[in-house]
Amino acid sequence: MALTREQMAQRVAQELRDGYYVNLGIGIPTLVANFVPQGMEVMLQSENGLLGMGAFPTEETLDADMINAGKQTVTAVKGASIFSSAESFAMIRGGHVDLTVLGAFEVDVHGNIASWMIPNKLVKGMGGAMDLVAGADNIIVTMTHASKNGESKLLADCSLPLTGKGCIKKVLTDLAWIEIDAGQFTLVERAPGVSVEEIVEKTAGKLVVPEHVPEMTFA
Amino acid sequence: MAGFDKVVLSYDEAMAGLDDGMTVIAGGFGLCGIPENLIAEIKRRQTKGLTVVSNNCGVDGFGLGILLEDKQIRKMVASYVGENALFEKQLLNGELEVDLTPQGTLAEKMRAGGAGIPAFYTATGVGTPVAEGKETRTFDGKEFLLEESITGDFAIVKGWKADRYGNVMYRHTAQNFNPLAATAGKITVVEVEEIVEVGELEPSQIHTPGIYVDRVIQGTFEKRIEKVTVRS
């Protein structure tokens, strides 16, 4: 079975480490915050200028001056800090964020990522995505393995305009955990009950399949 | 007014000197921390042909979105403009030009512009449409893009508290692009919720020192929220 959005978030959360500063993109990445392991401390960075993002507020604590990068009202945790957009991106560009999780339309074997622009469709903008992929060392891309029409999103070369070049090393899809190195994908783990054959069939770029591909485990 | 006193008493006075074709840098992220009354004053003045630099372009009917209603903006420099139907329409009609700029690059363009640094290298955008026509250079084996800084004829800023000398503090995440915009205007206008006497703000807690600020005005704010999200 393909992973649900929650299971994808849960699998990504296994990559968290105690003391990590983490930037989570919109969509599935946001859900990762719900699966931080017990007893582990991580601090969420929101690129509009908040390190230590907390839960959504209650009606009583709602504040127009407290939002996240998705423009939703939020709270700050104890120990949070708030700063300007330049300071925020200094953290991101300077490589100070330990883990970045974001979505994409396509990823290719060269580690290129396309996530912001579909030609002939209205372009809303890249927001902070280009800064995040260029600045972070440790990035996990979350996306479905193939489109609704069955077209692979793991390609030999991205077909859409890029968000970043050669910056992606890890991809979690609804079917597999894939790593990228030396111009090829490697199948590291598969979703429970998903066959290697299905993953091979749905991966357009060169995929190396080790002899043993373990199933993901969920606590 | 004398000495360092920057306080003005009317929005007309606050935006005096704004002319057609000028570049205006605005603080704010989404609708958070936007100089909503200064924007309304630009609409009242019907200044045309503006280049507006801001992370977003408001929404239909609020924030910078109201400057689209009478086609006052010729060019928008922003990182994300997805919340605005009128914007889409004018963009597709060719009535509006847009320069989509990565958010961190936009922030740094303002910061560097205000600091007298004409351009800087960044890895952001290398190999993407943003890099088209731009110089690149390799440092330590990695490719970087030369990005030019931004300065404006006017910067419009929303603060929380300011003293009469134009020292400004921001509240929570309403800080965002505001302190950067404040440095990058030839004329920087700050509107705040409260003007206090000189000496009331703790010097080490000031975000924008008064040297960057030309005019300060106290306003009242709607502070509209784009996406009210509460715990279930």
From CA A174, how far away is CA A27, in angstroms rounded?
A: 14
Q: Is the pLDDT of residue B1 over 60?
A: no
Are B218 and B185 contacting, i.e. CB atoms less than 8 angstroms apart? no
- Going by pLDDT thresholds of 50, 70 and 90, the confidence category of residue A121 is confident
Among the partner-chain residues B82, B123, B175, the one whose CB lies closest to the CB of A49 is B175
pLDDT number for residue A122: 78
pLDDT in tens, B21-70: 999 999 999 999 999 999 999 999 999 999 999 999 999 999 999 999 99
pLDDT > 70: percent of chain B: 99
Q: A85 lies in a domain?
A: no
Which active-site residues of A does the annotation give?
Answer: 47
- Going by pLDDT thresholds of 50, 70 and 90, the confidence category of residue A149 is very high
- Going by pLDDT thresholds of 50, 70 and 90, the confidence category of residue B98 is very high
pLDDT in tens, A59-110: 999 999 999 999 999 999 999 999 999 999 999 999 999 999 999 999 999 9
Among the partner-chain residues A82, A86, A124, the one whose CB lies closest to the CB of B173 is A82
A11: helix, strand or coil: helix
For CA atoms A9, A62, B104, A42, the dihedral sign is negative
The average confidence (pLDDT) of chain B is 96
Judged by a CB distance cut-off of 8 A, whether residue A49 touches chain B is yes
Which ipTM value was assigned to this complex?
A: 0.96
- Going by pLDDT thresholds of 50, 70 and 90, the confidence category of residue B84 is confident
| Residue of A173, A177, A180 lying closest to A188 (CA atoms) | A177
pLDDT in tens, B179-199: 999 999 999 999 999 999 999
pLDDT in tens, B216-229: 999 999 999 999 99
Domain range for residue A195? 5-31+97-208
The average confidence (pLDDT) of chain A is 96
pLDDT in tens, B131-157: 999 999 999 999 999 999 999 999 999
Strands A20-24 and A99-103: parallel
Q: A218 lies in a domain?
A: no
Are B194 and B163 contacting, i.e. CB atoms less than 8 angstroms apart? no
Residue of B106, B124, B225 best to disrupt the A interface, most CBs of A under 10 A? B124
From CA A119, how far away is CA B36, in angstroms rounded?
A: 34
Are B212 and B203 contacting, i.e. CB atoms less than 8 angstroms apart? no
Distance from CA of A90 to the nearest CA of B (A): 8
Q: A27 lies in a domain?
A: yes
From CA A139, how far away is CA A160, in angstroms rounded?
A: 20
Residue B117: CB atoms within 10 A of its CB come to 12
Q: A78 lies in a domain?
A: no
Torsion angles phi and psi, residue B203, rounded to 5: -50, -40
Which CATH number fits the domain that encloses residue A158?
3.40.1080.10
Chain A contact set for B160 (CB, 8 A) = 65
Note whether A73 contacts B229, CB cutoff 8 Å.
yes
Number of domains composing chain A: 1
pLDDT in tens, A173-185: 999 999 999 999 9
Q: Is the pLDDT of residue B119 over 90?
A: yes
- Going by pLDDT thresholds of 50, 70 and 90, the confidence category of residue A123 is confident
pLDDT in tens, A6-48: 999 999 999 999 999 999 998 899 999 999 999 999 999 999 9
